Structure 1
Amino acid sequence: MDKKNGGSLSGIAAELASSLRDILRAEVRLARAEVTDITGQLSKHVLQAALFGAVAALGILPILAFAVIGLGRLLQENYWLSALIVGVGFMAVGGGLALSAYRKVLHEDLSFPHTRRGLQQQVAVTEKKLDEVAQTTKGRVA
């Protein structure tokens, strides 16, 4: 191999190495940004669920007592039965709301779409450069 060919190959290799370093740095920055964004979204939902749960707990106690006593009187002083009915009813409503919140969390996109797309683009560029190096090498060998 002469200096001209070796120089151009080493230049391409250096450019490729520099490109890969830049790609990795950019993708790490993008992944960090996406993790921060996703964490913020999840934190928001968790905080909302906790806050709404606390507010509901404060308001539910007097209503629960009222419902148990009122239903107990309607059921001929069977307060145990009224407590059971009211408890099951509130558990059903609370469980439904909890399930709804859980499904919202499951539907969040946690797959780092920007990072994945960027990596796919950079892999395509890197493959193109490697093909150029292979073609250059084949042309010089032949």
Structure 2
Amino acid sequence: MASTINQVTFDARDGYALSLFWSAVTGFTEHPDYPNGPEDEENFIGPGGERPGLLFINVPEGKAVKNRLHLDLSPDTTRDEEVERLLALGATVFEDHRKPDGSGWVTMLDPEGNEFCVERSEAERTKA
């Protein structure tokens, strides 16, 4: 027997705003029958609005410590182009682990301070 991951859940001060950020990052969308809204306590996005996806739940407290779980992103473009795109969306660089030989990753923070990593793209990894 096994379990299926239904969603990855984020506690958020503003789950709606965070769902919009992550929608822009991933291309995930809300379910067409269950649209997200700023007044909603929960906001879901997934591939084509389906599961598995990301759920953002409003909570009163802010983030206090490092995430024990984080997402690793593999971009369609280059890692460096993706980092620039994410910066324009409102992310910040937390730790830069890029190496002169092109390997490594960048740890970033989403608008609420959740860590995530941007790795090299599959094309960049196969060139190495």
Q: Which has the higher strand share?
A: 2
Q: By the TM > 0.5 criterion, same fold?
A: no
The structure whose residues are more often helix, as a share, is 1
TM-score for the superposition, normalised by structure 1: 0.20
Bigger radius of gyration among the two: 1
- Higher RCO (CA 8 Å, separation ≥ 6 residues): 1
